[in-house]
Amino acid sequence: MRRVLPILLALSAGLALPAAGQTQRVGLVVSLAQPTDATGARKALVQVRDLLNDQRWSQALDQSFPIRLTFRLEIWRSRQGWIDDFQRATEWSTVILREPLEDQYRVTRILLSGPEEFRFATREELDRWIRAINLVDALPQGTGSFYYTVTLRITALSDDEMEDLDRFLAGLPPETTRDRSSIGRSVRRFLLRVAGLPWEELEVRSEKFTVTRKR
């Protein structure tokens, strides 16, 4: 325990919250693409801003904490004078991991169609990829006034979750049992608590758009 305590203190100090004057935080933006056809239906454009300028998450990557971004897009029909009607939702996620031995960053994007993997040699390349505007391939059904809501949850992954991800990418089923009392996992959970990085959630809503006839 005498050897572990200095490491814990060093890591928790390295992942401390930024000072009061350093207010740059991660942001989420959703906008609308141009209409896809004469119906007026429009897809959502989703962008994550300043993830790596937010010191909480930037320092987490520096300390080799994998970060998961989980997105959920919901399609809503606006009903004047009534409760809005939820139509359907789609989800996807991105896992960002710094690999110090290879001196690079590995990004895994998990879509309904399957996983995609990217590698970046520099922080600048990774930042440009994260900031890129993504077109979401989802449209409302029927006619009326619609809008999108997008929720982004950012979390630091546990060892168990990283193991599950690696098994998933290898085409293996997740393990049904684990020794969750191991010292390594207990230390990781403790570090996540003292680092103040359990999770962060952002939610934004698009402008409304009108679909005039069925697609």
CB burial of residue 57 (10 Å; 0-12, 13-18, 19+): buried
pLDDT digits (tens, 9 = 90+) for 75-115: 999 998 789 999 999 999 999 999 988 889 999 999 888 88
Q: Whole-prediction pTM value? A: 0.74
Give me the mean pLDDT over the 181-198 stretch.
50
Domain residue ranges in the chain:
22-211
pLDDT digits (tens, 9 = 90+) for 105-159: 999 999 888 889 999 999 999 999 999 999 999 999 999 999 999 999 999 875 5
Which of 17-31, 38-52, 57-71 shows the lowest per-residue confidence on average (mean pLDDT)? 17-31
- pLDDT at position 196 is 52
